[in-house]
Chain A
Amino acid sequence: MSVFRSIVFSAALAGVITGAAITGAQMVGTIPLIQKSEVYERKAEAPAAVAPTDATQPAHTHDHGAAAHSHEAEWEPAEGFQRNAFTTGANILTAIGFALLLAGIFALRGRTVSWREGLFWGLGGFVVFTAAPGLGLPPELPGMPVADLSLRQTWWVSTACATAAGLGLLVFRKASWAAILGLGLIVLPHLIGAPQAPAGHTDVPEALSHSFVVAATLTSLLFWALLGVLTSIAFQRISRT
């Protein structure tokens, strides 16, 4: 089978299983916290002019953000089944996307990647895509004050790239200059610093946002560990045929 097809098939398989499993973990971990936080978000958003119990107003369940977000007519999934179905779909797509990255790397290794090696690649993904960006931009609940979205996205992506390059140098180059440069690349984005939220008031309790950081980080660790192992096993099997 062509390498591309092997990568796509194994990524799809690993992604579907990981995405579904992680949705289960989120149901008990992050999602209840998001829903609790939205109660505060809605309270903060509801101005005195709008009576919250007005039956003629469609319920704005997770309309976000204080600034410039009065999007009345924008589509969003209905609460309950539809919202969870979209979350499951988004989780599966995210898992497939990252699995394509992992399987692509496995193909470039040019030899069999064992499940344990896959696990470590997954943990590498956790460091690059969760731990490093999360240091500067911790997982946020809806309704928290935040800096400009594009600035945060730029910092997030740059941090992930720098961390990946740094880890790569540390692991795959034996020279001392590589170790120094690698560590430097990992530290650099944090010296520059993530875009900071303007001082703002939030009703979301400190304890709730702390629990969310823990829950999101742990579910992400599970996501990456599972994705690394499953992608390596699937790619092993499929590329052999």
Chain B
Amino acid sequence: MQQTQTAQISAVTTDVNVVVQAVLAMALGLFIVGVVGFSHISAVHNAAHDTRHANAFPCH
């Protein structure tokens, strides 16, 4: 039962379940980039300073 379910998931690309999981992962990724690159909190800014400049994220 479990196996047939997994097989179905990997076979059917438009499976809602896959889409939900992929979109959740992408949202998590954007959240991480947002905090590292765009947070206005001064300590976060100072810690990631050189990375922000090197990535050309808008900085101070």
Contact = CB atoms under 8 A, between A and B. Distances in A.
Interface residues of B, number: 42
Given A65-B60, A69-B60, A149-B40, A105 B26 contact: yes
A24 interface: no
A121 interface: no
A87 B51 contact: yes
Interface residues of A, number: 64
Interface string A128-154: 011001100111111000100100110
Given A77-B47, A139-B56, A149-B40, A96 B29 contact: yes
A110 B14 CA distance: 8
A186 interface: no
Interface string B8-34: 011011100111011111101111110
Contacts, number: 159
A109 B19 CA distance: 10
Contact of A3 (B9, B52, B57): B9
Interface in A105-135: 105, 107-111, 129-130, 133-134
B1 interface: no
Contacts of B54: 26, 29-31, 34, 91, 139, 216, 219-220
Contact of A34 (B18, B36, B53): B53
A11 B27 CA distance: 13
Contacts of A104: 22-23, 25-26, 29
B32 A97 contact: yes
Contacts of B31: 97
A100 interface: yes
Given A97-B32, A109-B13, A134 B56 contact: yes
B55 A130 contact: yes
Contact of B46 (A11, A74, A98): A74
Contacts of A29: 54
Contact of B58 (A93, A111, A137): A137
Contacts of B9: 3
Closest 8 CB pairs of A and B: A110-B13, A100-B29, A97-B32, A104-B26, A90-B48, A76-B46, A97-B33, A90-B51
Interface of B: 9-10, 12-14, 17-19, 21-26, 28-33, 35-38, 40, 42-43, 46-60
